Amino acid sequence: MRADLEIIQEWIPAGSRVLDLGCGNGELLAWLRDNKRVSGYGLEIDQANIAACLSKGVNVIEQDLDKGLGNFASDSFDVVVMTQALQAVHYPDRLLEEMLRVGRTCILTFPNFGHWRCRLYLASRGEMPRSEFLPYTWYNTPNIHFCTFRDFEALCRERRVRVLQRLAVDREHRHGLASRLWPNLLGEIGIYHVSR
């Protein structure tokens, strides 16, 4: 399984009901179903990903996250997961509120724009950072709302969202001493477990 999903699954209780926003090929939901008796649904808009979910027998609903979660009842899921999509939605703050309405807890992962490589790239070249991990140019990127860990936590404080757990990891999803000591500079990906 993808390394970030390996970490996330530990935060999802066995037998729970999960909504996975931008579920990709359904890997996480299929693993949770087979190993932790988890039931749930994935939301996805990519055709190939939807077909992959169907082939795995994962419940997948074709739904655009930018149109909200209005069709899901409040507190209808134990956990709402969204990996690597927060930076790509039109209204990250509203979606976060929606996730917290629908799920009792939420797990989010997103790239940290405050990582030292981004800072160095921008400071030394004066250009928007590009890397193997985030290869897009500014005009064709799906990532329209980059933030740093500090930015995200400021939003959480402002909206009274509790951060239950936080993990800063590098691109291989290792979490060493360095990213624990100085996450906003040394962590590349943030994995947050939040609730109201």
Cα distances from 126 to residues 109, 120, 130, 135, in angstroms, run 27, 9, 12, 17
Among positions 1-40, residues that touch another protein (CB under 8 A) are 17, 39
CB of 12 to another protein, least distance (A): 17
Nearer to another protein, 9 or 59 (CB): 59
CB of 57 to another protein, least distance (A): 5
- Would you mind telling me the total number of residues written for the chain in this entry? 196
Q: At what angle do helices 92-102 and 149-158 cross, to 10 degrees?
A: 60
Task: Report if residue 50 touches another protein, rule: CB under 8 A.
Answer: yes
Cα distances from 165 to residues 7, 8, 43, 180, in angstroms, run 12, 11, 24, 12
User: For residues 97 and 70, is the Cβ–Cβ distance under 8 A?
Assistant: no
Which one among 10, 14, 71, 126 touches another protein, defined by CB under 8 A?
71
- CA pair distance 24, 45, nearest whole angstrom: 9
User: For residues 53 and 28, is the Cβ–Cβ distance under 8 A?
Assistant: no
Which one among 21, 53, 85, 106 touches another protein, defined by CB under 8 A?
53
Nearer to another protein, 56 or 145 (CB): 56
Which one among 2, 36, 49, 59 touches another protein, defined by CB under 8 A?
59
CA-based torsion, 157, 160, 165, 166: positive or negative:
negative
Which one among 6, 62, 66, 127 touches another protein, defined by CB under 8 A?
62
User: For residues 77 and 12, is the Cβ–Cβ distance under 8 A?
Assistant: no
Which one among 51, 120, 164, 181 touches another protein, defined by CB under 8 A?
51
Stretch of 6-14, 51-59, 157-165, 181-189 contacting another protein, by CB under 8 A: 51-59
- CA pair distance 186, 115, nearest whole angstrom: 6
Task: Report if residue 60 touches another protein, rule: CB under 8 A.
Answer: yes
Task: Report if residue 47 touches another protein, rule: CB under 8 A.
Answer: yes
Stretch of 3-11, 59-67, 109-117, 136-144 contacting another protein, by CB under 8 A: 59-67
Residues engaged in binding another protein (CB under 8 A): 17, 39, 41, 47, 50-63, 71-73, 76
